[in-house]
Structure 1
Amino acid sequence: MTDDATIHDPLLGVWATLGEPRLTRELGTSGPGWVGLDAQHGHFDDRALRDALAHRPTGSAPMLVRVAGKDATLIGRALDAGADGVVVPLVDTVADAEAAVAASHYPPLGARSWGPLHGSRPAHAPGTDAGAHPIPLCAVMIETAAGLEAVEAIAAVPGVDMIFVGPFDLSLALGVQVEELLASEDDDAPLRRITRACSAAGIRSGAYAGTPERAAVLARAGFHWIASTTDTALLPLGIGALRGLLRQGQRDQVEPSEGNTAS
């Protein structure tokens, strides 16, 4: 079940798109709560996923793969490569969600074929990151009008661990600007409806933000797992932080300390 501490302290993640395995492994040990590997709209092909997920060091953040489609082979392949969980796009119906769950689990819970890739394994035991945050093995995306209309039923499907929102696609589907979607705080607002459905079902809610500003909005809306930035956005953010440190160092050198001020 969800809890107030988690709601007010969301797990902030990095969304990786470049498909560069060495960079992705470094991201996993740099302090994020989790890392999302985008095989739908990013550069993660089958080989890049295998290389990024293999030989992760102890202590690496959980890594979820957004697969390219709601396809059992793609889901099984990502998990075989060592993903801690999958994010399945364009889930519109209960049947879609049930199929995603079946593809994520071995029998008797599902229909996944056993066959882990040689040398690959998830970095965490199913259901835990050795901390306070359960890892969603099967997250399904709500990003269409049909998915939103069925969100309560989808969230209640046994084996769905998290509803993950794609706000850009959802805003397109609903005919509104993404900032309008994010800003709406009405009781019947789409994002509020999704977090309520997750709370009622006792599962996690997640969303893609892409920027710290949007992440703050999603945190206020009650989302638990938030992709707060991307691997590419971290580069200018890091340069900006470096410039800030440099300016602060220059100010510290030219400004006399209180103890050295002439009387």
Structure 2
Amino acid sequence: MANNKVKQLWAEGKTVVNAWLAIPSGFSAEVVAQCGFDSVTVDMQHGVQDYLSMVQCFQAMHGHPVTPMVRVPWNEPGVIGKVLDGGAYGVICPMVNTPQEARNLVSYAKYPPKGVRSNGPIRSGMYGSAGEYQKTANDEIVLLPMMETKTAVENMEAILDVEGIDGVYIGPSDLGFSYGLVPKLDRDEPEILKIYEKIVKECGKRGLNPGIHCSGAEGAVRAINMGFKLVTLSNEVGLMQVYARQQVAQTRKESGGKA
């Protein structure tokens, strides 16, 4: 199994710039993989991706220097083992609210004796020579439980103490929602920013890497300056919409009323 670029960047003290794929298209994945991202995450929770489209996205980006990752739909052993067998080098798992749920995630994603993952890396095993994948998978795969509820925040330190996770991933929309706020990505409420500050601090104490979902470069830079170690720049749908709307608006504005 090749070394995980995400872990290499963290070891160098750098922040990972992550892409997010909601569209079930190998071609879209191939285009995004050439845009300079460090990692590309296929979203199987809220995107319209399924397992086969995930594999197609991985195949399309395989020739480019990006780490393939997945947000699974739920903390469930079948899907976690299957995305890893399909080639995921990282798993982002939603709605992990307790240390036991974090321990479950670790168990589902790691081979014995550290976990209960079943052996059968049908595609991921092709990343290296035969039989080598299992020797390093436990160390190379990135595990990021999502911290996105009031309950998870209340259990923050206990969750971060779970052996085997590499950090946590913040879902700003659900986190704000759970505190009675409007769901959005780049949050500025003092109570939420205080939570971010504590997450970054507690991760730092443990050598963990906090990640967060952002709406674009402006929010990502703010997050990096706060101490986050992985930032996601919207998703390909959002990036496409923003640029398309900008181009349409500019065309109409500068056409002198002809469009």
TM over 0.5: yes
2:94 is aligned with 1:89 = yes
CA distance in 1, matches of 2:99, 2:62: 37
AA of the residue aligned to 2:200: T
2:49 is aligned with 1:48 = no
2:121 is aligned with 1:116 = yes
The alpha-carbon distance between structure 1 residues 201 and 104, as it changes in their structure 2 partners (threshold 3 A), is: same
Listed as ranges, the matches of 1:94-243 within 5 Å are 94-118=99-123, 121=126, 137-177=142-182, 182-184=187-189, 189-236=194-241
CA distance in 2, matches of 1:80, 1:141: 21
Per-residue Cα deviation, 1:14-51 (whole angstroms, up to 9, x for no partner): 11111212211331232112111100000110111122
1:257 matched to which residue of 2? Answer: none
CA offset at residue 227 of structure 1? 0.5
CA distance in 1, matches of 2:214, 2:152: 19
CA distance in 2, matches of 1:35, 1:103: 22
CA distance in 2, matches of 1:11, 1:169: 22
2:35 maps to which of 30, 38, 44: 30
Stretches (4+) displaced over 4 A? 1-5, 118-123, 178-181, 184-188, 236-243
> Any unmatched runs of 5+ in structure 1?
128-133, 247-263
Larger radius of gyration: 1
> Any unmatched runs of 5+ in structure 2?
1-6, 252-259
Q: Structure 1 residues 191-200 or 77-86, which shifts more? A: 191-200
Listed as ranges, the matches of 1:14-25 within 5 Å are 14-25=19-30
The alpha-carbon distance between structure 1 residues 136 and 164, as it changes in their structure 2 partners (threshold 3 A), is: farther
Q: Structure 1 length normalisation: TM-score?
A: 0.78
The alpha-carbon distance between structure 1 residues 225 and 136, as it changes in their structure 2 partners (threshold 3 A), is: farther
Q: Structure 2 length normalisation: TM-score?
A: 0.79
Q: Report the aligned-residue RMSD.
A: 3.2
2:4 matched to which residue of 1? Answer: none
The alpha-carbon distance between structure 1 residues 57 and 105, as it changes in their structure 2 partners (threshold 3 A), is: same
**Secondary structure in 2 aligned to 1:97?**
helix
The alpha-carbon distance between structure 1 residues 71 and 187, as it changes in their structure 2 partners (threshold 3 A), is: closer
CA distance in 2, matches of 1:167, 1:216: 15
CA offset at residue 208 of structure 1? 0.7
AA of the residue aligned to 1:149: E
Per-residue Cα deviation, 1:204-260 (whole angstroms, up to 9, x for no partner): 1101113223223322221110101311233245558989xx9xxxxxxxxxxxxxx
